[in-house]
């Protein structure tokens, strides 16, 4: 009998941890980001996310660059399995509930109007 995994942990067996999976999905949908922003989006500890991002960077999956005092991470365009990784991440997004996908994985296309309430 095949047991369906919960949406939140569908790639966890491959990526070892839920924070790593969430960080990869966030970077896939947003392009570049920094560890604190990713941690804040998911309610994770910053050190946990930073550790996973550095581990992925050491493996060649991610790149990082300094922008001022902030280290931005993104998916390495030279990673040999980039297309396959992105296809896997795209497929896993289809298992994320629509409300969560809109809230966490859809980047804002423009800045918020000055003075507009946060809702």
How confident is the model over 23-29, as a mean pLDDT?
93
| CATH class as words, domain 18-100 | mainly alpha
For 62-110, what is each residue's pLDDT tens digit?
Answer: 999 999 999 999 999 999 989 999 999 989 888 888 887 777 777 655 5
Lowest mean pLDDT among 3-12, 46-55, 65-74: 3-12
Question: Quick check: 7 and 96 in contact, CB under 8 A?
Answer: yes
Q: Is the dihedral of CA 9, 14, 47, 36 positive or negative?
A: negative
């Amino acid at each position: 009998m095949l047991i369906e995994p919960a949406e939140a942990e569908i790639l966890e067996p491959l990526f070892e941890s839920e924070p790593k999976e969430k960080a990869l999905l966030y970077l896939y949908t947003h392009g570049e980001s920094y560890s604190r922003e990713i941690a804040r989006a998911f309610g994770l500890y910053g050190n946990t996310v930073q550790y996973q991002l550095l581990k992925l960077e050491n493996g060649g999956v991610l790149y990082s660059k300094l922008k001022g005092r902030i280290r931005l991470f993104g998916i390495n365009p030279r990673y040999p399995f980039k297309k396959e990784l992105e296809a896997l991440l795209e497929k896993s997004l289809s298992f994320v509930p629509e409300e969560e996908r809109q809230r966490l994985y859809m980047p804002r296309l423009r800045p918020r109007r000055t003075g507009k309430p946060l809702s």
